[in-house]
Chains A and B, each alone.
Chain A
């Protein structure tokens, strides 16, 4: 199974500042035939189901604010929130869907300073 490791486990950032969350896969999740990275990012607020933010590592889901961006390729990926808003307090997860079983990172809890 592919192991997904997120860092840090928790993050405290001031309003308006940049937040960066990393995700590393134990093997490449770049599919050579279509040059796509099989990685998604989710946001989960307390008591709610996860919400899809980013797929193919860098494609923003419709309706997601443009302060959220994804980058990376191969085995190392990053979710960046360019200017943190109060409503961004949540736990963030990466997921690889390159192979089954699909696997999530352990989550990163984002809080406001």
Chain B
């Protein structure tokens, strides 16, 4: 069974940095791309970032390009999202998700999410 457990969320001041982690289990982590999706309170879903299984390619939404960095540690089955220069509009629940099948990029299995609140 696929399990994804996000951590690292919390309250951070504008301009600050935070690193989210997502511990994966139940599948061969390095074989699958992984994604981050966020949801602001009471709002819809926003795709944030993705990274290929090998880690050799990364993709970002325009709203986070240049501020967020996605990475992965395939030896420890962990996905990361380094978030810098945080803004109030980055406040959201951040979900990590495994893609559906190897070679695809749509989120299929989701974690429970971790809440990031950017406020002074």
Contact with B along A25-64 (1 / 0, CB 8 A): 0000000000000101010100001111001000001000
Contact of A101 among B62, B95, B110 (CB under 8 A): B62
B35 to A, closest residue via Cβ:
A102
- Number of A residues with CB within 8 Å of any CB on chain B: 23
- By beta carbon, the residue of chain A nearest B59 is A100
The answer to the question of B66 belonging to the interface, with a C-beta cut-off of 8 Å to chain A, is no
CB of B9 closer than 8 Å to a CB of A? no
B104-A101 in contact (CB<8A): no
Question: Judging by beta carbons under 8 Å apart, are A104 and B45 in contact?
Answer: yes
Query: How far is it, in angstroms, between the C-alpha of A61 and the C-alpha of B37 when the chains are bound?
Result: 20
> Do residues A97 and B105 form an inter-chain contact, with CB atoms below 8 A?
yes
Task: Given A52-B108, A55-B106, A61-B108, decide whether A106 and B59 contact each other with a Cβ distance below 8 A.
Answer: no
Interface residues of B (CB under 8 A from A): 35, 37, 44-47, 50, 59-62, 95, 100, 104-113
29 contacts between A and B (CB under 8 A): A1-B62, A40-B107, A49-B110, A49-B111, A49-B113, A50-B45, A52-B107, A55-B100, A55-B104, A55-B106, A55-B108, A93-B44, A93-B45, A95-B45, A95-B47, A95-B106, A97-B104, A101-B62, A102-B47, A102-B50, A102-B105, A103-B47, A104-B44, A104-B45, A104-B46, A104-B47, A105-B44, A106-B44, A107-B44
